[in-house]
Amino acid sequence: MLYDYPRLEEKLIIDKLKTNNHEVILTNVNNKPLTIGEKITDISLIRSVSMYKALYAAALRESGGCRSINSSYTIAICGDKILTLSRLKNAGLNIPRSTVAMDAESAQVAFRGLKKPFVDKPPIGSWGRLVSLVTDNVSWRSLLEHRQMLPTQQLKVHIMQDYIEVNNRDIRAIVVGGEVLGAIYRISVGDEWRSNIALGGKPVQRRLDPILEEAAIKAAESVKGDFISVDILEDSSGTLYVNEVNGVPEFKGFMEATGIDVAGALMRFLEEVSKR
Amino acid sequence: MLYDYPRLEEKLIIDKLKTNNHEVILTNVNNKPLTIGEKITDISLIRSVSMYKALYAAALRESGGCRSINSSYTIAICGDKILTLSRLKNAGLNIPRSTVAMDAESAQVAFRGLKKPFVDKPPIGSWGRLVSLVTDNVSWRSLLEHRQMLPTQQLKVHIMQDYIEVNNRDIRAIVVGGEVLGAIYRISVGDEWRSNIALGGKPVQRRLDPILEEAAIKAAESVKGDFISVDILEDSSGTLYVNEVNGVPEFKGFMEATGIDVAGALMRFLEEVSKR
Amino acid sequence: MLYDYPRLEEKLIIDKLKTNNHEVILTNVNNKPLTIGEKITDISLIRSVSMYKALYAAALRESGGCRSINSSYTIAICGDKILTLSRLKNAGLNIPRSTVAMDAESAQVAFRGLKKPFVDKPPIGSWGRLVSLVTDNVSWRSLLEHRQMLPTQQLKVHIMQDYIEVNNRDIRAIVVGGEVLGAIYRISVGDEWRSNIALGGKPVQRRLDPILEEAAIKAAESVKGDFISVDILEDSSGTLYVNEVNGVPEFKGFMEATGIDVAGALMRFLEEVSKR
Amino acid sequence: MLYDYPRLEEKLIIDKLKTNNHEVILTNVNNKPLTIGEKITDISLIRSVSMYKALYAAALRESGGCRSINSSYTIAICGDKILTLSRLKNAGLNIPRSTVAMDAESAQVAFRGLKKPFVDKPPIGSWGRLVSLVTDNVSWRSLLEHRQMLPTQQLKVHIMQDYIEVNNRDIRAIVVGGEVLGAIYRISVGDEWRSNIALGGKPVQRRLDPILEEAAIKAAESVKGDFISVDILEDSSGTLYVNEVNGVPEFKGFMEATGIDVAGALMRFLEEVSKR
């Protein structure tokens, strides 16, 4: 397992694997250099909080012939919301209508054509950070100016999405090895419109149904994900929109709300893979 | 064709296509927003200088069912030197021995174990920028401190490579549709050890031989590249090391040194693809 | 005269000085290194667009015993809105009620206590950039998150000011050598609430009156400014609030609206200074 | 006392003041917004680690008529090495010959004219960070490229100084209220040429002599510093070069090496000031 900052999730997985007599080699990528082409283990579980460290750890392990879970392909796609939405759309999934503006000039062009409010976000980022609800011209211009001052090219790119009325909640489903473990609602709290757990969102179990299951499984397939979570918006008419896929999923809130043993399911999947 | 800043290369390609009665739709991604899932053309030629704009343009076109050349997959791999080296290694190609350090602490660990001088570079960047030859502890620590102050996670990551004695030149080969068009030496000038054209490197024709051709073709395959250039180091014993692959290749210097009509070869490849 | 990018203003000043047989040495600080302690001229006129280049140019000239106009003291104060407001307040001038939050946590504390809408801006910046009108919690949180991602400590600091109802205009007065040359309204256009010329604001002459003159002169004195412009807000009751002082003033719009020969007035001031 | 991250120094000062029955109000500027013009105390001791937070805290307290120690003037000058060197030179002090280049182009011009090795540093920064010894063209170009990628204008500015042969040590003297408390050598360790304590430098007492005392006192005066430390280089011939002044001095190492009660001396100075 490669990680940077061990969270509860990492501890649970390690416990589960060790309790079941699996050999676990822990590598903190912050203090251990990795050599391209080196083969250390058969399977590498990638659990770094930093997306780029996760991506590189996966690619470096693959370069030595190891199977990374998730693969560098999956992490690269899921780590970038434009790449994710493109793959989801390609796979025939329903997504919120999304326009991409590479810089401020094209964002201004797109702004004029969009119904307000709309959602604006950069392709990179976790925990809902920089995901903004744009209601009017004044806050839009402030947002536009701030984005242009951000220090990377990617953070200057705008994904501008139709705002889906979701009744203060979205759905998160976890998929392991092509099977949906379960789903939760994340319910936004107070005057925060976003439902991310990091922003105070409360996890509550959501029953699975065939349409939700199919969406989650197709989403996982579209990014070739072994162990992923899928964020889905459900409007008042019940229509589902797949919006994001997480390549290094957190599952603390999910576990609390559903009682599902995610670490155990992951372990069984790793056992299967190692037998192939 | 999607571009941001039209260079000589873009103008040559457009001229060639128009002269031969092909319909060309030009899209400047800086002032035109792109919608996910929109189908505009059958083939999109991606020619933006900015790597991220190229990547997103390719992915957005693919999301509508279009064939991007190069694909977003190829551009994502080639735009990142760690991903490229990992794929090259995976494909069995000879690369310079390369260690990756995710941050300053692991870079310091790697430093101790490396023969000096060595080459240090971040995974992202063009034209040789930030590619440094590290000879001693004093310049290394200065480099390490500067890297940590750079504004993105990726620029803080170190690729540390064996320095290959190359006699002041490297090789660049261009591959279109699985065939090697030709190759040049780029000869470094004055006291600049890097041979990038942008740093004053002089392009001189290099004859093809079967070993070079095979390396270039395998490199292109390893990143699934349709139209790419490959940077290869050749040491005093004649051993080749594939080092980088460019997903949006510049070819002005190549053309001048070899007289090869790159735009024409590209056009013929596009014609073939459109017939499939 | 030290400059970086010559604007119309710089050309007018140079013309005026040369036409009147003054010797002018032009130094582009972008391509000429400056040595500490070197004496080049008696008076240095600082006209660089970049605030830090202006500040350093002034300090370097002063280190050689030269008189800089404006002085590095004035440029340092005027280049930072917190330092300016502090000096203005100290001098007994009326300013908009202003709270400073050094980071996101204290900004959140301040937010709760402020009447909405209020104005939020970082201490550094020109042309109204990043000056935001905060009306509600949703746009505030987006702003807060963006500010924290900006790449410098200073841009993470919040100045939070009472919003003064100004009837879509503010006042700009120019002071040279302790005398007010004149004043303009800058009238904001369309749905842009800010009246900066760079944001489309229209300059219109504003007659001087003793209260305005006194405020402008005291503002100049409070920052020890030789040649400055003062931004003043006037509410519906006619109360004036001094808000910003510019240490390297632009005056194209001022000149067009008033017909006042700013370059000529500046020259006469320089002549006086050189006689002392 | 205004602070952000309390270090040993802050704790010692607070202890000393409280033990002697002085009323101390502690303000953490990270969680408390400050209002311009507010008067809280008669004297504000500024002890924030962040230079900009220290600067703003001082200015904000001064705006309410309070005496800040150090003043915002002193902190602004000492927080910027170009402003400091300019004031030192102006005061007739001996400084290392220093050239300032505002960007890469002028830095390249300056490079050609300088004897190697030389010292290159940006105007902003503590603990020796980014202070580089440039020995040759290859490491210089790497440095130049890295500097241009740093995220702020100030970090792109180069101070290029003659390298003074100092026998692996520099001198640090502390001045309170116009009197020199004492001095230490900071001795650099191993292959680190810089002697900053943060880089492993070892503090050793250095006896005072009239020339050193005079330099330290004049340096404090040149920046109007109440409580500052002065960094001085001494070459093999015994010539002193004043190089930096610290406006929020750390004194843990100084105290250990000399046994001098810095907090006590500071308290006595504060008592004197409050009596005036």
Write out pLDDT tens, residues A187-215.
999 889 999 988 999 999 999 999 999 99
- Name the packing angle between helices C137-149 and A137-149 (round to 10°): 10
Taking the CB of residue C24, how many other CB atoms lie within 10 A of it? 13
Across the interface, do A65 and B97 touch by the CB < 8 Å criterion? no
Chains touching A, CB cut-off 8 Å, 3+ pairs? B, C
d(CA C113, CA D256): 45
DSSP state of C197: G
d(CA C224, CA C246): 12
Question: What's the pLDDT score for residue C101?
Answer: 98
Using alpha carbons, select from C143, C125, C123 the residue that is nearest to residue C133. Answer: C143
B contacts of A90 (beta carbons < 8 Å): 62-63, 65
Across the interface, do A30 and B106 touch by the CB < 8 Å criterion? yes
Q: Which of D97, D99, D154 sits opposite C52 (nearest CB)?
A: D154
Q: Is A192 on the interface with C (CB under 8 A)?
A: yes
Is the pLDDT assigned to residue A1 strictly greater than 90?
no
Q: Which of D55, D97, D109 sits opposite C33 (nearest CB)?
A: D109
Q: Is C200 on the interface with D (CB under 8 A)?
A: no
| Chains C, D: CB pairs < 8 Å | 153
Q: What is the mean pLDDT of residues B117-144?
A: 95
* Nearby residues of D117 by Cβ (< 8 Å), 6 or more positions away: D133, D134, D135, D163
A contacts of B223 (beta carbons < 8 Å): none
Across the interface, do C63 and D109 touch by the CB < 8 Å criterion? no
How many percent of chain B have pLDDT more than 70?
100
Across the interface, do A151 and C146 touch by the CB < 8 Å criterion? no
Q: What token pair was written down for D35? A: 């209002």
Across the interface, do D99 and C50 touch by the CB < 8 Å criterion? no
Integer CA distances (angstroms), D195 to B143, C226, D127, in order: 18, 42, 9
Across the interface, do A130 and C145 touch by the CB < 8 Å criterion? yes
d(CA B225, CA B210): 20
Nearest CA in chain A to C193: A138
C contacts of D87 (beta carbons < 8 Å): 59, 63
D contacts of C81 (beta carbons < 8 Å): none
Q: Which of B31, B97, B154 sits opposite A105 (nearest CB)?
A: B31
DSSP per residue, D24-54: ---EETTT--EETT----SEEEEE-SSHHHH
Is the pLDDT assigned to residue A164 strictly greater than 90?
yes
How far does D149 lie from chain B, in Å, by closest CA?
7
- Start-to-end CA distance of chain C, whole Å, equals 19
Mean pLDDT of all residues belonging to chain C: 95
Q: Which of C5, C35, C36 to mutate to test the interface with D (most CBs of D within 10 A)?
A: C36
Topology, domain D80-94+165-261: D-amino Acid Aminotransferase; Chain A, domain 1 (3.30.470)
How far does A11 lie from chain B, in Å, by closest CA?
22
d(CA A144, CA A140): 6
**Max Cα–Cα distance, chain A, nearest Å:** 60
Integer CA distances (angstroms), D156 to A147, C52, C198, D102, in order: 22, 11, 26, 7
Using alpha carbons, select from B46, C120, C104, B52 the residue that is nearest to residue A159. Answer: B52
Q: Which of C133-145 are b and which e, b meaning 16 or more Cβ less than 10 Å from the residue's Cβ? A: bbbeebbbbbbbb
D contacts of C242 (beta carbons < 8 Å): none
Residue type, A255: M
ipTM entry: 0.96
Q: Is B109 on the interface with A (CB under 8 A)?
A: yes
Is D75 exposed, middle or buried (CB count within 10 Å of its CB: 0-12, 13-18, 19+)? buried
Is A40 exposed, middle or buried (CB count within 10 Å of its CB: 0-12, 13-18, 19+)? middle
Question: What's the pLDDT score for residue D28?
Answer: 93
Is the pLDDT assigned to residue B4 strictly greater than 90?
no
Q: What token pair was written down for B216? A: 């270039």
How far does C219 lie from chain A, in Å, by closest CA?
29
Question: What's the pLDDT score for residue D39?
Answer: 85
Where does residue C209 fall: left (phi above 0), alpha (psi -120 to 50 degrees), or beta otherwise?
beta
How far does B38 lie from chain D, in Å, by closest CA?
36
List the C179-187 sheet strands across, edge first.
C202-206, C179-187, C169-176, C227-234, C240-246
Question: What's the pLDDT score for residue C3?
Answer: 85
Across the interface, do C99 and D62 touch by the CB < 8 Å criterion? no
Is D187 exposed, middle or buried (CB count within 10 Å of its CB: 0-12, 13-18, 19+)? middle
pLDDT tens for the 276 residues of chain D, in order:
888 888 999 999 999 999 999 999 999 999 999 999 998 888 999 999 999 999 999 999 999 999 999 999 999 999 999 999 999 999 999 999 999 999 999 999 999 999 999 999 999 998 999 999 999 999 999 999 999 999 999 999 999 999 999 989 999 999 999 999 999 999 999 889 999 998 999 999 999 999 999 999 999 999 999 999 999 999 999 999 999 999 999 999 999 999 999 999 999 999 999 988
Mean pLDDT of all residues belonging to chain B: 95
* Reduced DSSP (H G I as helix, E B as strand, rest coil) percent helix, strand, coil of chain C, to 5: 40, 25, 40
How far does D12 lie from chain C, in Å, by closest CA?
25
Give yes or no for a contact between B49 and B207, defined as CB atoms under 8 angstroms apart: no
Across the interface, do A139 and C139 touch by the CB < 8 Å criterion? yes
Is the pLDDT assigned to residue A41 strictly greater than 90?
no
Mean pLDDT of all residues belonging to chain A: 95
Residue type, D249: P
* Nearby residues of C185 by Cβ (< 8 Å), 6 or more positions away: C169, C170, C171, C195, C203, C204, C205, C206
Q: Which of D63, D72, D114 to mutate to test the interface with C (most CBs of C within 10 A)?
A: D63
Is the pLDDT assigned to residue C1 strictly greater than 90?
no
Taking the CB of residue B116, how many other CB atoms lie within 10 A of it? 12
Nearest CA in chain B to D131: B142
d(CA C72, CA B30): 39
Give yes or no for a contact between A165 and A235, defined as CB atoms under 8 angstroms apart: yes
DSSP per residue, B191-208: T-----GGGTPEEEEE--
Q: Give domain limits for chain D.
A: 2-77, 80-94+165-261, 98-162
List the A158-162 sheet strands across, edge first.
A132-134, A118-121, A158-162, A98-101, B34-35
DSSP per residue, A202-245: EEEEE---HHHHHHHHHHHHHTT-SEEEEEEEE-TT--EEEEEE
Nearest CA in chain B to D142: B132
CA C260, C262, C267, C268 torsion-angle sign: positive
Question: What is the radius of gyration, based on Cα positions, of chain C?
Answer: 19
d(CA A222, CA A78): 10
| Tens digit of each residue's pLDDT (9 = 90 or more) over A229-266 | 999 999 999 999 999 999 999 999 999 999 999 999 99
d(CA A75, CA A58): 8
CB contacts under 8 A, C 212-271 vs D, are none
d(CA D222, CA D242): 11
Nearest CA in chain A to B87: A63
A contacts of B120 (beta carbons < 8 Å): none
Across the interface, do C4 and D102 touch by the CB < 8 Å criterion? yes
| Tens digit of each residue's pLDDT (9 = 90 or more) over A75-133 | 999 999 999 999 999 999 999 999 999 999 999 999 999 999 999 999 999 899 999 99
Question: What is the radius of gyration, based on Cα positions, of chain A?
Answer: 19
d(CA B228, CA B219): 9
The phi and psi torsions of C20 (rounded to 5 degrees) equal -100, 20
Question: What is the radius of gyration, based on Cα positions, of chain D?
Answer: 19
Q: Is B75 on the interface with A (CB under 8 A)?
A: no
A contacts of C150 (beta carbons < 8 Å): 146, 149-151
Q: Is A37 on the interface with B (CB under 8 A)?
A: yes
Q: Which of A60, A85, A110 sits opposite B100 (nearest CB)?
A: A60
Q: Residue with structure tokens 């392991």?
A: A176
Question: What's the pLDDT score for residue B92?
Answer: 96
Give yes or no for a contact between D83 and D107, defined as CB atoms under 8 angstroms apart: no
Q: Which of B62, B90, B99 sits opposite A35 (nearest CB)?
A: B99
Q: Which of A47, A89, A99 to mutate to test the interface with B (most CBs of B within 10 A)?
A: A89
d(CA C158, CA D35): 11
d(CA D269, CA D88): 24
Across the interface, do D99 and C35 touch by the CB < 8 Å criterion? yes
Chains touching C, CB cut-off 8 Å, 3+ pairs? A, D
Q: Which of D64, D110, D151 sits opposite C151 (nearest CB)?
A: D151
Across the interface, do A86 and B32 touch by the CB < 8 Å criterion? no
CA D112, D117, D119, D120 torsion-angle sign: positive
- Start-to-end CA distance of chain D, whole Å, equals 19
Nearest CA in chain C to A144: C130
Question: What's the pLDDT score for residue A40?
Answer: 84
Across the interface, do B143 and D142 touch by the CB < 8 Å criterion? yes
The answer to whether the peptide bond before residue A33 is cis (omega within 30 degrees of 0) is: no
Q: Which of D57, D82, D102 sits opposite C30 (nearest CB)?
A: D102
SS3 C274: helix
Topology, domain B165-275: D-amino Acid Aminotransferase; Chain A, domain 1 (3.30.470)
Q: Which of A4, A85, A99 sits opposite B33 (nearest CB)?
A: A99
The more confident residue out of A272 and D3 is: A272
CATH class of A2-77: alpha beta
Across the interface, do C150 and A147 touch by the CB < 8 Å criterion? no
Q: What is the mean pLDDT of residues C121-144?
A: 95
Which CATH superfamily groups domain B98-162? ATP-grasp fold, A domain (3.30.1490.20)
What's the pTM value of the predicted model, to 2 decimals?
A: 0.95
Q: Residue with structure tokens 């050309």?
A: C11
How far does C32 lie from chain D, in Å, by closest CA?
5
DSSP state of B151: S
Nearest CA in chain A to C192: A138
How far does C230 lie from chain D, in Å, by closest CA?
19
